[in-house]
Amino acid sequence: MVPLGAEALSGESDNVLERYRRWRKGVWDERSHVERMEFQSLIIVRLMVWFFFLAWLVMPVAQLVSEPPGLPLLLGVLLLICATAQCVLSWRLLPLAFGEYLGRGTVPARSWLLAGALMAGTLALDLGLEATGALDKEFTVFVALFAVIPYTAERCLTMPLRTFQQWSLAAAVVVTGAFALVGVRDMSLLGYAVGVYGGAMICLASIRCSAWSLGVMWQAERGREAQARLAVAEERLRFGRDLHDVMGRNLAVIALKSELAVQLARRGRPEAEEQMIEVQRIARESQREVQEVVRGYREASIGSELAGAQAVLTAAGIDCRVTGAEAADELPTGAHAALGWVVREAATNVLRHGDATWCAITLRVGAG
């Protein structure tokens, strides 16, 4: 039976929600806090390029639709195609440019050649529209302003600051001179210069600052990872030290008594058997002590876990408050290990899967 009306809408809504949950789990929930920030920043920058495309190019060029077929209409169609190609290429190159800025790779040189050629093509078509008089001067200024945005959005991340500023100034001079050659003589020339240079500076001020912030956040993330690895290394050293303290003395005694038993056995002395019995006793005692060390190493104490969780969360920038820690003394021994693992797992979930700014941990012991 085919669902109709409200049932069909309800089923479609459930499918949309299910697809959203799968997308969120695969694209968002599995990412760390810094990875989410990078993903969000990249989407915003990509959409910014398309916003400028719609506002500064499509709307001015749309007035050519009413023009009769001829050179102006052809130039307008070619301009839309070239500008769309710029935006598509920018969508692909922006993640690579962010990666190069963050030290994760480089953008291929042929991609820069293609991006530069598309920018030059857009400016040339804008120049042609200005020469034919098909567009008003204020519109061609906005088109020139857009033309540099897709290219400089990536280039501002991969060029040194001084080089980028020099390139932007040179591009503004060249574009202004080109429009002067086709007969532009009024204050519009200043608009072209300011538009080209200003568009580059918009990208520098917004996109490069975002990338710099991401770089700082990644450095902090790597610092926290280094602290975690250091904590693991320190715990291994502590375990090795405890094991050495337990086994070093006993193994030395076992070696001496075994050597003494060998000498006594060679002489046929009955004391050799007593020495081997003593060696057996010390070996069993060493086995028991090693088991106690390992058991103490693996067990989680609620008191130490509360202190550790507070320290780790505070280091991650989360305001963590622990109350009732003194109640841990009232808990039975078996509860210490179980609750210690609960606190450890909860702190891990807050760090990995949450975006918390504060966390409160309360321990209370009830009757019964």
- Is the pLDDT confidence value at 242 over 80? no
Q: Which residues contact 227 (CB under 8 A, 6 or more apart)?
A: 315
Stretch 322-344: mean pLDDT: 76
* 124-164 per-position pLDDT tens digit: 999 998 888 877 777 888 899 899 999 999 999 999 999 99
CATH code at 300-368: 3.30.565.10
Q: Which pLDDT score is estimated for 17?
A: 75
pLDDT band with cut points at 50, 70 and 90 for residue 1: very low
CA nearest 75: which of 118, 121, 125, 133?
125
- Is the pLDDT confidence value at 117 over 80? yes
Q: Which pLDDT score is estimated for 152?
A: 95
Q: Which pLDDT score is estimated for 299?
A: 56
Q: Which pLDDT score is estimated for 208?
A: 92
CATH 3.30.565.10 segments of the chain:
300-368
User: If 0-12 CB within 10 Å is exposed, 13-18 middle and 19+ buried, where does residue 246 land?
Assistant: middle
Contacts 24+ apart (CB under 8 A), 121-125: 121/82, 122/79, 122/82, 122/83, 122/86, 122/146, 122/147, 123/147, 123/175, 123/178, 125/75, 125/78, 125/79, 125/82
The mean predicted confidence, pLDDT, of the chain is 82
- Is the pLDDT confidence value at 260 over 70? yes
Lowest mean pLDDT among 4-8, 48-52, 144-148: 4-8
Predicted TM-score (pTM) of the model is 0.64
Q: Which pLDDT score is estimated for 298?
A: 53
Lowest mean pLDDT among 149-153, 266-270, 314-318: 314-318
pLDDT band with cut points at 50, 70 and 90 for residue 7: low
Q: Which pLDDT score is estimated for 63?
A: 77
β-pairing verdict for 358-362 and 319-323: parallel
- Is the pLDDT confidence value at 228 over 60? yes
* 61-96 per-position pLDDT tens digit: 887 777 677 888 888 889 999 999 999 999 999 999
Stretch 275-302: mean pLDDT: 74
